[in-house]
Structure 1
Amino acid sequence: MAMSRTTTLSFFSLFICVLISLGSTIGNVQLVQAGNPNYRDALAKSILFFHGQRSGKLPSGAAQQMTWRSNSGLSDGRLAQVDLTGGYYDAGDNVKFNLPMAFTTTMLSWGALEYGEKMGPQLASTQEAIRWSATYLLKCATATPGKLYVGVGDPNADHKCWVRPEDMDQARTVYSVSSSNPGSDVAGETAAALAAASMVFRKVDPKYSALLLSTAKKVFQFAIQYRGSYSDSLGSAVCPFYCSYSGFKDELMWGAAWLLTATNDAFYSNFLNSMGGGDSPDIFSWDNKYAGAYVLLSRKAILSNDKKFDSYKQQAEQFMCRILPNSPSSSTQYTQGGLIYKLPGSNLQYVTSITFLLTTYSKLMSSTKHTFNCGNLVVTPSALSSLAKRQVDYILGENPKRMSYMVGYGANYPKRIHHRGSSLPSLATHPQRIGCDAGFQFFYSSNPNPNILVGAVVGGPDQNDGFPDDRNDYSHSEPATYINGALVGSLAYFAGGNLN
């Protein structure tokens, strides 16, 4: 049964609304009234979230604003006698999975490239977030000749514990792919991430940019020379957590698309041509990159009128036709409240990724006054941007529950998120170690999390717009880097006043 769109405000809620109208703050979290989204505030918070996901030695002062976090994973890589410190924990656990981390890096980079001029002071923060993971990915690609390291931490051991990153003593097993154990999917995505990041730093740090790009080329060469899925090579170390369900062809297309964008080298366009196209999805995520590659490659067809890329434009537009609710070829479900609904597990990851493609293709169409058809429906740039805005606004509180799904944004947001560091007392308040099993007393507690992971976007509501705010319900209450990584660009788009 769909949830009512009207809610009864308690006295406390009314009090909070008065605070909001006065522009008040609680702690360091500014309260923004749902129903009138403040995209700039949400943008700043969506990037701040990455401070809470950092692994390794944390910087001091303003460079580390999540002060309840401390150093962690300082011995990462030691089992392989290499330095693999740094990077991000993917979600609410303490594992570094490179496939989703690299996708997050690619999407943050794409957001900075498309919307950097709209980000204002947040551009530097976005570049900082990109650098944190790109530098880790560089280590993974260059530490040992002939190997690409693709993750740190045994996920099966990790998921049996509820422990702060600072306290973890589970096996920090190191995982890699090689010529004899290939991983074209994770290598293709790593190449995409490094190539995209190289463009972000081209002007601000040319030396770093050059290193990123040269490494991207080598990693991509490795991906196409030794073909195979990392799921087959690594088994239970990545499955079912981040299995490459879509195979590796999409990552090869995605990696080639980004290297072509970064270099304009005919090698990559010839490689794309040799692939003979790809699937026609109605989804875009850390696993399935086809739609992203189509939108990225459409630039050459629309902006440069290069006929060789027309097929990608057609595929991108077929994707949009599968998303638009009034399209005759739509294959996308929507909740009664208007949210794109793809899958029950962390649905907002698909919403933010698809929304990024909607805003980016809308922007591309606007630049040339381009339209296209879904059957007899004429699709304008505003049709895409309006749908994208509806998704972003829903996440920020314009939904039946009047709940913001971004932690720390608005008066009503998830308080019991599935996240170890957020749910356990910080070292500052509880300096004694909390062991693997001891942490579960906090996991099963009904109390709100003691540490606010500002900016974290959780998995989101169910298909009936319901959300229980239950720490144990990880498919709805767990935040993830790739949810935020895709949302940053769309928030910048709307913060810049884009409503085509």
Structure 2
Amino acid sequence: MSKCWGGNVISTIVFNSGQEFVVQHPGYKPNLKAGELYEIGFVGYYKEGVADPKPPPVIIKLQGRTVYLSPDPERATPQTVLTTTNLMYPVTNLSRIPTTTSPPDVFNPLAIDVSVLPKNTSTVADNNTHGNNNRTKNNNDQQHYAINEQNNATQGTQQQSNNYIGGIEGSGRKPEPSLTNTTQELTGTTPMRFYNGTSKYDYAVVLHKSILFYEAQRSGKLPPNNRVSWRGDSALQDRGRNDEDLTGGYYDAGDNMKFGFPMASSLTLLAWGVIEYWDAYEATGELQHALDSLRWGADYIMKAHVSPFELYAQVGDASQDHRTWRKPERMHSRRTPFRITKQRPGSDLAGESSAALAAISLAFRRTSGAEQYVRKLLEHANNLLVFANEYRRPYHLWIPEVVDYYKSTGYIDEIIWATAWMYRATGNKTLLEFAQSKYINWLLFTIPKNLMFSWDEKRPGLQMLMAQIDPSLKQKYDSDVKAYCSTLRTSGTKYTGKGLLFLSEWSPLRYAANAAFVCLMAADHGIDTAVNKAWATKQIHYMLGDGGRSYVVGFGKNYPKRPHHRASSCPALPLGCGFGFATSSKPNPFILEGALVGGPTFHDQYEDERMDFKQSTVALDHNAGFQGAIAALQYRKMFPQHNMSRSHELWYVNSLTEDPVTTTDVDGSSYEPWYVNTVTGNTEDFVATTDTGDRSHEPWHVNAATDDSFTTADVVDRSQM
């Protein structure tokens, strides 16, 4: 076959190591025939005088389907390209090419017609941290995110604001099982063999206390079942610029600030841990408490998302807040709110908020009577993702007050992070295709120079998430995750004398905990299982006592008595407070159960002093990955032989069928074996015949399973674990 076509570049994003071009070619509509072979050419043009340019990764799609992917991410093209050299890629395995759809006239891969929504659902319109300069990411890595803002700031603005991602529609199927159901009822597998295993530390107690820490950080009107007796209602006057209700949410750290970006990031990681290690939470009796903590944060994000393109980013002026030392219950006046809009956008904040709500929806999908709540979460998550993608800017440009605390070094990782979570929550293949292409073109497969996985840097987490939900590129994602965890163990990586991964002098424990969480999930995914589990366990055990002391308040040997935390360091009401209590050498009058402090110096030294911010501070993001890692260790302690099943997640069921009803099921019944058997026509037990124990319950996996490059079996084998 011999055909040539050309097109116009309609958008471009420029990085320090390459460029992405989107080409519109409406005139090319050949009659593709199944079984024929086609040769596709990619032509790279470089300016005269360019010496040894490093070609960017290449991904070629034909009618929405990936037909070529660079085999070597380090050198994506076969040779150095100069001037007008052609790069030709023969495609030798193009069969069953879909011909029913053509490329969209306007490039906006996240646009789904809002008409798929039921007419009776509510919309967004129905909803009337502490930090320092050292919380920002290493500036050496900032060049990775150098984006030509002029080229992409208005990309996709032609799309209407009511675009909907994921296609959500009620199914009318039978109600979901209750939280008390066993894992056998939830997944259809044989009963798990329960082991009351032993370990050096009691993970269940740590899990319990970590959840209590988040309850101690609550803002707003506390619920009747509040378990932290020394906390009360606070900040009840938090309002938006148009008098919107902004009460609720979490205080960021030891101050009384509400920072939306790290709060959302922490909620995403907390939800991830609940999703992955549900059975550990359930078996320890902590599941409902964990869900309550997720809902507390999600409800606040949805309050703050007052319209599709308007999101409150922060409540309180940090400079004013840090000039006082008082209990949050003493705050009775209105505080300054800060927001992002279409004119002052923030893709990082909107993207992370979308990711958090999508992840939380996956947890609540498994609970009884949560259909409408799941729908509401995904409506907000969808609009936030469209907001992040269509109006691309970092949020700190418009909120200078946040620069010294939570300045973002880039937003492209949050856009794809959110896209991947939305795919996992909805099973919509358009989202997966968008995430796949940007994962390559935006170099999100690379390892951060500072090795951090944090509220700001999502690449390591994104690589692990894609490995979990996209078996079509399993080898690529697994290789990326393997490279990250392996790099953490190399001789060039900085460790303390007692073995703690030391990536920053400011709160080093949070970075080690987040890395441990990723590598424990990698171990459960079958990536260097033994070594990753051993390494991650060592990091967590350092925090629990192996480092010479416990770094978790209220747990273990010689735990911190003076964390940098206003509410727990001030006396009970009605007594007043002030900086005299901040500088006091006395222990905090109230134990901030479960809080992970910042951590030691590079020499494994820790001074239990309240005003030593680097070491004694606590924060939402400190405990998020840490709690996930604890849940992972507890899971393997209790169920060492059990292979995790994910046949309850929508992406998995959708991947087994193209039935539009299953694509939009939100009532949670899609994880049940009877339901999967119904849509697949399987007469045998579905899980026993096709689920080898990975993520076969999740919507994305089922979508992948029907592609001609897969079987319907779960492609991730955990049989050796």
TM-score scaled by length of structure 2: 0.58
Residue aligning to 1:219:
384
> How many angstroms apart in 2 are the aligned matches of 1:397 and 1:64?
29
> How many angstroms apart in 2 are the aligned matches of 1:494 and 1:312?
23
Residue aligning to 1:284:
453
Task: State the shift of 1:169 in Å.
Answer: 5.4
> How many angstroms apart in 2 are the aligned matches of 1:250 and 1:37?
35
Structure 1 counterpart of 2:545, from 397, 408, 414: 397
| Contact residue 194 and residue 212 of structure 1 kept, 8 A | yes
The Cα offsets for residues 73-128 of structure 1, whole Å up to 9 and x where unpaired, read as: 11112543100111000110100001100011101100000001012211111111
Gaps of 5+ in 2: 1-198, 641-720
SS at match of 2:338: strand
Greater helix content: 1
Residue aligning to 1:424:
570
Structure 1 counterpart of 2:294, from 130, 148, 162: 130
Residue aligning to 1:75:
237
Partner AA of 2:352 in structure 1: E
Structure 1 counterpart of 2:607, from 468, 492, 495: 468
Task: State the shift of 1:482 in Å.
Answer: 1.2
Alignment of 1:96 with 2:258, yes or no, is yes
Residue aligning to 1:20:
none
| Contact residue 42 and residue 455 of structure 1 kept, 8 A | yes
> How many angstroms apart in 2 are the aligned matches of 1:484 and 1:137?
19
Residue aligning to 2:403:
239
SS at match of 1:241: helix
Partner AA of 1:426 in structure 2: A
Partner AA of 2:232 in structure 1: S
When residues 288 and 331 of structure 1 are mapped into structure 2, their CA distance, relative to the original with a 3 A threshold, is: farther
Residue aligning to 2:486:
321
Task: State the shift of 1:332 in Å.
Answer: 2.4
When residues 67 and 58 of structure 1 are mapped into structure 2, their CA distance, relative to the original with a 3 A threshold, is: same
Task: State the shift of 1:146 in Å.
Answer: 2.7
When residues 351 and 170 of structure 1 are mapped into structure 2, their CA distance, relative to the original with a 3 A threshold, is: farther
The Cα offsets for residues 414-456 of structure 1, whole Å up to 9 and x where unpaired, read as: 11110000111121xxx1444xxxx101011111110111011
SS at match of 2:344: coil
Residue aligning to 1:294:
463
Residue aligning to 2:221:
57
Task: State the shift of 1:51 in Å.
Answer: 1.2
Partner AA of 1:413 in structure 2: Y
| Contact residue 158 and residue 170 of structure 1 kept, 8 A | no
Residue aligning to 2:416:
253
Structure 1 counterpart of 2:280, from 95, 111, 118: 118
When residues 78 and 252 of structure 1 are mapped into structure 2, their CA distance, relative to the original with a 3 A threshold, is: closer
Structure 2 counterpart of 1:84, from 246, 251, 269: 246
Partner AA of 2:211 in structure 1: I
| Contact residue 157 and residue 171 of structure 1 kept, 8 A | no
Residue aligning to 1:28:
none
Alignment of 1:415 with 2:580, yes or no, is no
Residue aligning to 1:191:
354
Residue aligning to 1:496:
635
Partner AA of 1:138 in structure 2: M
> How many angstroms apart in 2 are the aligned matches of 1:441 and 1:170?
23
Alignment of 1:38 with 2:202, yes or no, is yes
| Contact residue 154 and residue 170 of structure 1 kept, 8 A | no
The Cα offsets for residues 315-347 of structure 1, whole Å up to 9 and x where unpaired, read as: 2222112112xx4xx542111111111001111
When residues 252 and 146 of structure 1 are mapped into structure 2, their CA distance, relative to the original with a 3 A threshold, is: closer
Structure 1 counterpart of 2:513, from 349, 352, 357: 352
| Contact residue 192 and residue 258 of structure 1 kept, 8 A | yes
Task: State the shift of 1:168 in Å.
Answer: 2.8
Residue aligning to 2:700:
none
> How many angstroms apart in 2 are the aligned matches of 1:206 and 1:340?
42
Task: State the shift of 1:240 in Å.
Answer: 1.2
> How many angstroms apart in 1 are the aligned matches of 2:462 and 2:240?
36
> How many angstroms apart in 2 are the aligned matches of 1:170 and 1:316?
47
> How many angstroms apart in 2 are the aligned matches of 1:139 and 1:87?
9
Query: What is the aligned-residue identity percentage?
Result: 39
| Contact residue 308 and residue 384 of structure 2 kept, 8 A | no
Task: State the shift of 1:300 in Å.
Answer: 3.6
TM-score scaled by length of structure 1: 0.83
> How many angstroms apart in 2 are the aligned matches of 1:145 and 1:256?
17
> How many angstroms apart in 1 are the aligned matches of 2:242 and 2:593?
34
Count of residue correspondences: 431
> How many angstroms apart in 1 are the aligned matches of 2:430 and 2:336?
36
Answer with 1 or 2: which has the greater Rg: 2
> How many angstroms apart in 1 are the aligned matches of 2:475 and 2:254?
41
Residue aligning to 2:11:
none
Gaps of 5+ in 1: 1-34, 366-370, 372-379
| Contact residue 595 and residue 618 of structure 2 kept, 8 A | yes
Residue aligning to 1:207:
372
SS at match of 2:507: coil
Partner AA of 1:72 in structure 2: S
| Contact residue 470 and residue 477 of structure 1 kept, 8 A | yes
> How many angstroms apart in 2 are the aligned matches of 1:113 and 1:54?
22
Partner AA of 2:465 in structure 1: L
SS at match of 2:277: helix
Residue aligning to 2:536:
388
- Specify which structure has the bigger relative contact order, considering alpha-carbon pairs within 8 angstroms and separated by 6 or more residues: 1
Partner AA of 1:280 in structure 2: I
SS at match of 1:397: helix
Partner AA of 1:250 in structure 2: D
> How many angstroms apart in 2 are the aligned matches of 1:331 and 1:178?
43
SS at match of 1:341: coil
When residues 189 and 78 of structure 1 are mapped into structure 2, their CA distance, relative to the original with a 3 A threshold, is: closer
Partner AA of 1:43 in structure 2: L
SS at match of 2:525: helix
Task: State the shift of 1:145 in Å.
Answer: 4.8
Partner AA of 2:380 in structure 1: T
| Contact residue 235 and residue 332 of structure 2 kept, 8 A | no
> How many angstroms apart in 2 are the aligned matches of 1:114 and 1:295?
12
Partner AA of 2:531 in structure 1: A
> How many angstroms apart in 2 are the aligned matches of 1:96 and 1:443?
20
> How many angstroms apart in 2 are the aligned matches of 1:497 and 1:177?
42
Deviates further, 488-497 or 290-299: 488-497
Task: State the shift of 1:144 in Å.
Answer: 3.7
